[in-house]
Structure 1
Amino acid sequence: MVKYVQAAFLCGLFWGIVLTSSRSYADPVVTLGEPHSIDSALLNKKIPLSVHLPENYHSAQQSYPVLVMMGSDYRTRFAMLAATLDYMADTQIPAMILVGIDLPEGNRVLLPKGDKADTTIPDSYIAFMESELLPYINQSFRSAPFRTLFGASNSGFFSLYTLLQKPALFNSFFASSPSVGAAPELLTQRLNDGPLKAFSETRWLHIVYSDDDFDNVTQFVPEFTEKLIRQKPAQLNWKADVMANQGHVPATDFTTFLLHLYPDYNPAENLDNLTQIQHHFAKLSTRYGYKMLPPLAMLFDAGVELGRSENLSEAEKLFQHALQLYPENKKAYVGMGWLLREQGETTNAREMFEKALQIAPDYSLAKRLLQSLQE
């Protein structure tokens, strides 16, 4: 079997219908973040937040990893991250909750101050995330115990500093064009003597910058990574990528980060049945420390291909599992309905299509397949 993200190209007319109607013109426009805020006692001010939930958040029962972005008041950048997460979700990466922290004063507030590298303010932001932000996220949303911190430029420095100062706070750290030159000695000191040195849990770090980046990046990041090579703890999985001719904060940084963090979410090997799919996601769950469910897209695509190859019993297992995991998702019912139609069980197929339309009355694919039963 081909990998499930390629199955759409092999399923003939049925997949033509799926591709043209799975996100119909009647579907609502995806929103890229809703405003929230926290009255922070630690920072002594109201902190504006932007929160973007996965597309099927309200019709699912699962929990989602959280990605925290520093500087979401840069609206174009926040929208790019939100759209990228939506685009890659359930095919290359798991769906995620994106939480942006606005920095109206600018991201320089996250840098140490003065010649002595006073870290009072960045330390206060770390305390805010630990004591106020993350508890708020856990109480307000279905969040999984896997968190990522994303920062770019000065907030990229902050991402590195947070890893060295408080490695337990996040599971993975993304730093795009980090301004290491703002306080290289501080980062070296924390690398030598900070809590990361004795930290025993797995952490991920990924640095991305460009060969024509700012001097406080290109002249200092290589030295910092050399020190990482010599001193990093064994449980830190890290990588540094240098892009060609992309300037400060490369445009391709976020996709690069995500593919490095989840290199085999979409596995290279073929997953031909439910047992193989469950085994793969059991391994991922162990690696990332929370229960990671097979995405509906994988179960649906594999079920369609098996059904078209007349392996109907295995296809039925996949669609039944999809209904168990995603009982409020319209596509799960359409998949089972299609299989029942292929088996000649038109009455049961009709029930499945009608259930999909109860969930989403304008779902054009369910309407077409329901109509096909009358032709």
Structure 2
Amino acid sequence: MKTRFIFFSLLIINYYAKAQEFTSYEKPLNINLYSEVLNDSVNLEITLPKEFKNQINTKYPIIYLLDKQLHNNYTYNLQTIDYLSSLQWMPKAIIVGITFSRKNRISWTVPNENGGKADDLILFISKELNDKLKIEYPVSNFNLLIGHSRTAIFSSYALSKKPDFFNGTIANSVSNFDFGDKVQQKQFDTFLNKISSSPNKYFYFFSVGEKAYGDLHESAVDSLNHYLNSKELPKNLEWKYFKHKVAHDLTPGITVSNSLSQIFKDYGRRIDLCFKLAKSSKNKVPWNDFQDLYTSISTELDLKIEPSELFFNSIASEYYNDYDRIYGDKKLNFTLEIILKAIEKYPEDFSYFSWIGEIYMTRKDYEKGLQFFNRSIELINNDKSISKSDRISYLKEIEAFKKNN
């Protein structure tokens, strides 16, 4: 999909920022977008998954990473998301960095009722910006805010104000509703009452350092923790309080990785859960159970999750290797069943065709084995991304297996 960002009458300045390479993400694209509701320009940085242009029917969650101007924490959090995505513990996301200047960091994080523009910023993110992202990219309905200090306070308020849009917040070194502000506490109470009847799950993870290490928010965040512990909270709100023996500025680097790991824990352990489902079904491949698991994760995250190459490779290997000797003489049949499903989704992946060819050859079905090996050879020769040395190596492996069988 060719990247274009046409915002009609809006002022746009596009340029690729200098940035280090990520494993799972492209270099960020910087955009200066004028907001009518804020009556101001907003500096944004869009970071896309490297797989983005090659995916079909994949919708990505959006992570709004606030305080782009705080370079060290912002870059560290980008690297954290890249790390977790690359290890497939969390889904790849579209990351939107938002810059706050000295003049707007206070006004944009204070509710309109108190003389600020926080409600306008919420409207900008959930309407103006999201409408434009939907035009350009395949975005899902999962929206997560990550903020620090002032923008953590804003993130908490935004989640409580717009739960029909935001799914969660990671609020690093936050406070108790902007140090006891009654407007924001009332809004949070309304939020808790409102979401109790919602089918969606919400995430609220917040943290603080300690005063002894220089974080003056400690007592305010302790009181926020006390407030939540004193209430009967909706079952669909998952929350956690982190207290670290660090300074105020260090809380994002420690909190974000822990929070993302927990928010996406079921996504991260989905393959382990599939292993358990496979082991408990010795006589057949439990397709319905696999699908039910993925559906439950999708429902919880308001994000469509489907079996990917990780699933097909891992579960096929589980059957093929059969380290625990569970599947007996059915192991090759189960392996073949999995890989035949894999090529429906990945018809250009030569490795699946080679594996199928190997299984048929092992079962003495030489005609089918040669059919799939020949298709694998065709795909290898047509794939220009494969280096010459790798191509020679792959073809030699196939020929050696054919010769020995």
The interval holding the TM-score normalised by the smaller chain is 0.7 to 0.9
Question: Does structure 1 conserve the Cα–Cα contact (< 8 Å) formed by 2:353 and 2:375?
Answer: no
Distance 1:29 1:126 in 2: 29
Displacement of 1:145: 1.5
Match of 1:244 in 2: 245
Displacement of 1:340: 2.1
Distance 1:101 1:274 in 2: 44
Matching residue's letter, 1:127: L
Distance 2:147 2:81 in 1: 16
Structure 1's 86 and 127: CA in aligned 2 closer, same or farther, altered over 3 A?
same
Match of 1:191 in 2: 188
Match of 1:14 in 2: none
Q: What is the root-mean-square deviation in Å for CA atoms of aligned residues?
A: 3.1
Match of 2:326 in 1: none
Structure 1's 365 and 121: CA in aligned 2 closer, same or farther, altered over 3 A?
farther
Question: Does structure 2 conserve the Cα–Cα contact (< 8 Å) formed by 1:205 and 1:237?
Answer: yes
How many residue pairs were aligned? 343
Alignment of 1:7-22 (within 5 A): none
Which whole-Å deviations, capped at 9, do the CAs of 1:93-117 have from their partners, x for residues lacking one? 222221112223464443339xx98
Matching residue's letter, 1:228: L
Higher relative contact order (CA 8 A, sep 6+): 1
Question: Does structure 2 conserve the Cα–Cα contact (< 8 Å) formed by 1:336 and 1:349?
Answer: yes
Distance 2:380 2:217 in 1: 52
Displacement of 1:222: 1.3
Runs of 4+ off more than 6 Å: none
Question: Does structure 1 conserve the Cα–Cα contact (< 8 Å) formed by 2:147 and 2:171?
Answer: yes
Displacement of 1:323: 3.1
Larger Rg computed on CA atoms: 2
Match of 1:12 in 2: none
Question: Does structure 2 conserve the Cα–Cα contact (< 8 Å) formed by 1:71 and 1:155?
Answer: yes
Matching residue's letter, 2:372: N
Which whole-Å deviations, capped at 9, do the CAs of 1:210-267 have from their partners, x for residues lacking one? 3356544211011112212334444322111223346532422221111211222214
TM-score (norm 2): 0.74
Which whole-Å deviations, capped at 9, do the CAs of 1:303-335 have from their partners, x for residues lacking one? 23423448222223322333333456xxx4323
1:137 aligns with 2:133: yes
Match of 1:222 in 2: 222
Displacement of 1:287: 1.9
Q: Give the counterpart of 1:333 among 324, 346, 350.
A: 350
Distance 1:34 1:353 in 2: 38
Structure 1's 338 and 261: CA in aligned 2 closer, same or farther, altered over 3 A?
same
Displacement of 1:86: 2.9
Match of 1:264 in 2: 266
Distance 1:153 1:195 in 2: 21
Match of 1:324 in 2: 344
The secondary structure found in structure 2 opposite 1:66 is: strand
1:176 aligns with 2:193: no
1:313 aligns with 2:333: yes
Displacement of 1:171: 0.9
1:102 aligns with 2:102: no
Distance 1:184 1:28 in 2: 42
Match of 1:279 in 2: 292
The secondary structure found in structure 1 opposite 2:126 is: helix
Structure 1's 352 and 358: CA in aligned 2 closer, same or farther, altered over 3 A?
same
Distance 1:253 1:353 in 2: 48
Distance 1:246 1:322 in 2: 49
1:67 aligns with 2:63: yes
Distance 1:353 1:94 in 2: 32
Over the matched positions of the two proteins, sequence identity in percent amounts to: 19
Distance 1:214 1:135 in 2: 41
Listed as ranges, the gaps of 5+ residues in structure 1 are 1-26
Displacement of 1:132: 0.4
Question: Does structure 2 conserve the Cα–Cα contact (< 8 Å) formed by 1:42 and 1:124?
Answer: yes
Question: Does structure 2 conserve the Cα–Cα contact (< 8 Å) formed by 1:334 and 1:353?
Answer: no
Matching residue's letter, 2:399: Q
Alignment of 1:17-28 (within 5 A): none
Match of 2:26 in 1: 31
1:372 aligns with 2:397: yes
Structure 1's 136 and 30: CA in aligned 2 closer, same or farther, altered over 3 A?
closer
Match of 2:10 in 1: none
Displacement of 1:190: 2.4
1:207 aligns with 2:202: no
Match of 2:156 in 1: 160
Q: Give the counterpart of 1:44 among 39, 42, 63.
A: 39
Q: Which stretch shows the higher mean deviation, 236-245 or 176-185?
A: 176-185
Match of 2:5 in 1: none
TM-score (norm 1): 0.79
Question: Does structure 2 conserve the Cα–Cα contact (< 8 Å) formed by 1:210 and 1:250?
Answer: no
Structure 1's 326 and 64: CA in aligned 2 closer, same or farther, altered over 3 A?
farther
